[in-house]
């Protein structure tokens, strides 16, 4: 099997590369943009046969210059939800993916691509259905537009097309993402620097730290990608989350206790962490008012109906695993 992984130096793409290698698959073309050269660290130890810059790959693939490709795992995108440049977002997230989709269909190459739970935006229901899709920013809209094109294509598709709507992904190899990194990483960095973590205060009818998201470990996201790779007959648009919503307080609580455990210190309940100043609440940022999802929870009915029965980690176990990985990094 010959594969392409785009966004290969990013968080999900890099973890996919390493997971494929662990399965003995290394006939892989890696694609990314290494303008930020520090991202190369995510590729260290990974095996692949060639590397292309994003600016070169898509045109060459469309012209059929790369030979037979069985499947493209398309993780490349601009994932900065605070990016307001709509032209940039539509070029990178919609047009690039649409052109890749067309080329894949022409060459009968399977395409598994990254969508996002941001398509739901202001909705209170997180099911893969148009009436629940209400993006709050151009990032979410760029992902939704791709999903809409795929839905229209599916009845006549020449090869598998699967769009995976990722919820709040956290885990190894996200250090390059800056402000868009997960709260689990931000909390770990804050705890190391200041001995405390910070959460948003009350907002949207939710108490301090009680805004709730579907947090999904990157290992689980990778596992679902690999399931679709193994099941070439499964096409459509699918949620990829844990299926449970947990408050940000749970993440902060798990991070603090995981690092305390590494110091040989006892776990503390949330209330005691707050009382001791290990968790601090800050005012909700004005820039996010009206653009923030206070609650998300993946409806996994479509994923389960497709036959994927993967079991997802909860926050406590996933964060513990992540902290153990962070603790041994240079």
Evaluate whether 316 touches 247 at the Cβ level (below 8 Å). Answer: no
Question: In whole angstroms, how far apart are CA 49 and each of 4, 29, 65, 159?
Answer: 10, 6, 15, 24
Query: Parallel, antiparallel, or unpaired: how do β-strands 236-240 and 197-200 relate?
Result: unpaired
Which residues in 150-184 are b (16+ Cβ under 10 Å) and which e? beeeeeebebbbbbbbbbbbbbbbbbbeeeebbbb
β-bridge mates for residue 217, sequence order: 170
Residues labelled catalytic: 139, 177
Rounded Cα distance, 139 and 169, in Å: 16
Contacts 24+ apart (CB under 8 A), 259-268: 259/188, 259/191, 259/192, 259/323, 262/323, 262/327
The tokens of 210 are what? Answer: 């009680």
């Amino acid at each position: 099997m010959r594969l392409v992984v785009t966004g290969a130096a990013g968080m999900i793409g890099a973890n996919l590369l390493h997971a494929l290698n662990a399965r003995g698959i290394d006939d892989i073309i890696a694609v990314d943009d290494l303008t930020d050269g520090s991202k190369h660290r995510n590729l260290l130890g990974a095996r692949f046969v060639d590397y292309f810059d994003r600016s070169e790959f898509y045109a060459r693939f469309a012209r059929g210059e790369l030979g037979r490709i069985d499947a493209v795992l398309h993780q490349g995108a601009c994932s900065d939800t605070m990016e307001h440049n709509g032209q940039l977002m539509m070029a990178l997230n919609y047009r690039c993916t649409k052109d890749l989709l067309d080329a894949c269909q022409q060459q009968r190459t399977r395409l598994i691509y990254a969508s996002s739970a941001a398509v739901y935006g202001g909705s209170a229901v997180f099911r893969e259905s148009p009436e629940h899709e209400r993006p709050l920013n151009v990032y979410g809209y760029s992902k939704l537009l791709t999903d809409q094109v795929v839905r229209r294509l599916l009845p006549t598709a020449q090869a598998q097309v699967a769009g995976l709507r990722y919820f709040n992904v956290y885990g190894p190899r996200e250090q390059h993402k800056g402000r868009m990194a997960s709260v689990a990483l931000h909390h770990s960095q804050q705890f190391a620097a200041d001995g405390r973590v910070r959460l948003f205060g009350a907002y949207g009818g939710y108490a301090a730290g009680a805004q709730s998201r579907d947090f999904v470990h990157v290992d689980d996201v990778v596992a679902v990608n690999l399931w679709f790779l193994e099941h070439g007959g499964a096409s459509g648009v699918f949620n990829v989350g844990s299926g449970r919503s947990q408050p940000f307080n749970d993440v902060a609580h798990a991070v603090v206790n995981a690092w305390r455990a590494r110091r040989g210190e006892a776990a503390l309940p949330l209330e005691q962490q707050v009382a001791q100043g290990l968790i601090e609440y800050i005012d909700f940022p004005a820039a996010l008012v009206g653009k923030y999802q206070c609650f998300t929870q993946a409806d996994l009915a479509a994923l389960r109906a497709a036959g994927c029965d993967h079991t997802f980690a909860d926050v406590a176990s996933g964060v513990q695993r992540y902290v153990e990985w962070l603790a041994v990094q240079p």
